[in-house]
Structure 1
Amino acid sequence: MKATAVFLLLSLALCCYRGNAEMNGAADEGTEAACGTYDLKKGCTKIFDPICGTDNTVYSNECLLCAQNLQKHTNVRIKNRGMCKKHSPHPNSAEN
């Protein structure tokens, strides 16, 4: 009986985890945010420490990325610290 209950809970957890993955594979990129260090119920600070998410969105700080993941049931990870780098299709297009 206990083994069945544990199996069902693990199966449910696996299904939920797979359902939260980003469609474009972004959940496999970047590094996991340290969301356990923030009390998201109290809110996030207004300290500007930009984070570029794997969804190519700039979050004002890591806590806000965590709050967004919690609210929207996503798994956006940290692509890099700082602003997102824009990729120009023609890096030398300003030169003539």
Structure 2
Amino acid sequence: MKATGVFLLLSLALCCYQGNAETDGAADQGTEAACENYDPRRGCTRIFDPICGTDNQLYGNECLLCFHNLQRNTNVRIKNRGMCQQPSAYSDTAQK
């Protein structure tokens, strides 16, 4: 029961946190995922808290990004919290 309460509080904290990746020159490198908070070998929650990775792939939550890194032996970082940005039609035509 106590573990469930702690888990719920951590989940709530993650859901309420709307921080972004660093906004200075290191933004294209992203921020490191807090994989030590998860045990992806035991599975991840189904809570949708989207993360855009530095590989421009959308992950359902931070745990799934960690799981991807563990399975593929990669180091994808967090580009930003939320959906990945799609280039607008205007920016595509402006570059041509």
Instruction: Give the TM-score normalised by structure 1.
Output: 0.63
Deviation by residue 1:11-35 (Cα, 9 ceiling, x = unmatched): xxxxxxxxxxxxxxxxx70000000
Q: Which residues of structure 1 form unaligned runs of 5+?
A: 1-27
Structure 1 equivalent of residue 36 of structure 2: 36
Structure 1 segments, 4+ long, off by >2 Å, are 88-93
Structure 2 equivalent of residue 47 of structure 1: 47
**The structure with more helix, counted as a fraction of residues:** 2
Residue identity over aligned pairs, in percent, reads 67
Count of equivalent residues: 66
What residue identity is the alignment partner of 1:48?
F
**Alignment pair present for 1:57 and 2:57:** yes
Structure 1 equivalent of residue 86 of structure 2: 86
1:90 counterpart SS class = helix
What residue identity is the alignment partner of 2:90?
H
**Alpha-carbon distance between aligned partners in 1 of 2:92 and 2:74, rounded to the nearest angstrom:** 37
Instruction: Give the TM-score normalised by structure 2.
Output: 0.63
**Alpha-carbon distance between aligned partners in 2 of 1:86 and 1:43, rounded to the nearest angstrom:** 29
Q: Which residues of structure 2 form unaligned runs of 5+?
A: 1-27
Deviation by residue 1:27-85 (Cα, 9 ceiling, x = unmatched): x7000000000011210000000000000000000000000000001100000000001
